Amino acid sequence: MVIQHNIPATNAYRNLTSNRSGLSKNLEKLSSGFRINRAADDAAGLAISEAMRSKINGLDQATANANDAIGLIQTEEGALTETHSMLQRMTTLATQAANGTYNSTSRASIQKEMDELGNEIDRIANNTDYNGIKPLASDSNANSTGLTNGDKLNMTMQIGPTKGEVLDLKGQDMTLKGIFKDLDTVSSSGASVSANALTPASAATTTNLKNLIDNKKLDREQAGKDLTNAVKDAATRNNVTLASNFKVSVGTNGAVTITGGTASVFGGTTDAAKAITNALKDAYDALDGVQRSKGSTAEGLTDGKEYIQITSSGLSDDDVTANANRVVKNIQSAIDHVSSYRAELGAKQNRLEHTINNLQVTSENTTAAESRIRDTDMAKEMAAYTKNNILSQAAQSMLAQANQSGQGVLSLLQ
């Protein structure tokens, strides 16, 4: 019998300490709801769980970003709905003005409404705002050097938790001037005509015509026929006989060539030659579907109203009727242009709705996976807690018994 070392008491104390440590961990997991509260609980599980949490946070914010993007698109689209309505009204007015029953006073009144509708289109475009962003404004494509068609306002929407998951949405100048500036890409201003070719003032004009052909927005065979007919009509009006093989052709590269032409038809100084040359240039200018109104240059119009100007000073009734029909064609092109941008917005909105659904499902599944790694199984942990609690109480009781075992030594001292 020894008293310096009470091995049963030491054993009971060790077990009591171990049981209390387990009980403490059980209480921590039950009270926090997490199986992993520190790296020591499960180092690998903690690393996986934290990576998943980061992804979940990114997915949830990407969902919010996509919803914000839809809000921006709906703001744009709502504004363009009214722009469309006004362009439709302008078509009605231009068609009305083309009718021969209207005199100059009536047409002037029609022009006033046309101008006011143009002002309202500008106001809507310049004042449509989403959190300080004006995607339809006249400077929606501004860069450090000024307005450039190729540098639209580019809004990058972050629709995923990683760098590459973005959606680009370009702003569009939807003022009256902006709409027609985007459309009027083929111009005969400064162009020259010889017996065998029409040479535009810049190579860019030929390139733009080629782009129209490549994008299936212009049939080059029909374009050649239109140019040929324009020259023939002008020649007939001016009592000029063309060669039997006369023909104007548009090449795949956008170049315009003339077969059967002569210097007297295009290169002469007579009024007939000038009229025929101007008719060819005018028809060439019309290939993109947009033309400035006659007399608008003299009026000094540069704000987009040169494309919707029916009446101008010094024009005959025939000129006004021609202008009205030209305006109808211009506005139809503008309607198609606005429709195209609205279609782009609608397509992106539909895509974003699917994006949101996917993000939410992914977030839900990733959260479930993270939960299986990190969360406490309350039933299992409660069973462990009950076991450790009983063992702790039993170990405490046995420690007391073990401490009493040495009391027998005192009987030897009596």
Among 289, 231, 221, 217, which Cα is nearest to 252's?
221
What local confidence, expressed as pLDDT, does residue 313 receive? Answer: 67
Is the pLDDT at 151 greater than 90? The verdict is no
Question: In the chain, pLDDT over 70 holds for what percent of residues?
Answer: 96
DSSP character at residue 101: T
Per-residue pLDDT tens over the stretch 37-64: 889 889 999 999 999 999 999 999 999 9
- As a whole number of angstroms, the distance between CA 199 and CA 207 comes to 12
Could you tell me if residue 33 is left (phi over 0), alpha (psi between -120 and 50 degrees) or otherwise beta? Answer: left
* Distances, alpha carbon 234 to alpha carbons 4, 116, 229, 274, in Å: 129, 36, 8, 10
Kindly report, residue by residue over 171-201, the tens digit of the pLDDT: 899 999 999 988 999 988 889 999 999 999 8
So where are the chain's domains? 185-289
CB neighbours of residue 141 within 10 Å: 22
Cα separation values, 79 from 122, 124, 132, 332, Å: 11, 7, 16, 19
Which tokens is 369 given? 């996976």
Work out the end-to-end distance of the chain between its first and last CA atoms, rounded to an integer number of angstroms.
16
Which has the higher per-residue pLDDT, 7 or 124? Answer: 124
What does pTM read for this prediction? 0.81
How is residue 243 annotated by DSSP? P
Tell me which residue of 168, 169, 167, 165 sits closest to 59, measured CA to CA. Answer: 165
Q: What is the pLDDT of residues 356-374, one digit of tens each?
A: 999 999 999 999 999 999 9
- Please check whether residue 249 is in contact with residue 177, taking contact to mean a CB–CB distance below 8 angstroms: no
Tens of pLDDT, residues 162-174: 988 999 988 899 9
DSSP state of 255: -
Q: In the prediction, which pLDDT does 147 show?
A: 44
Give residue 149's pLDDT: 43
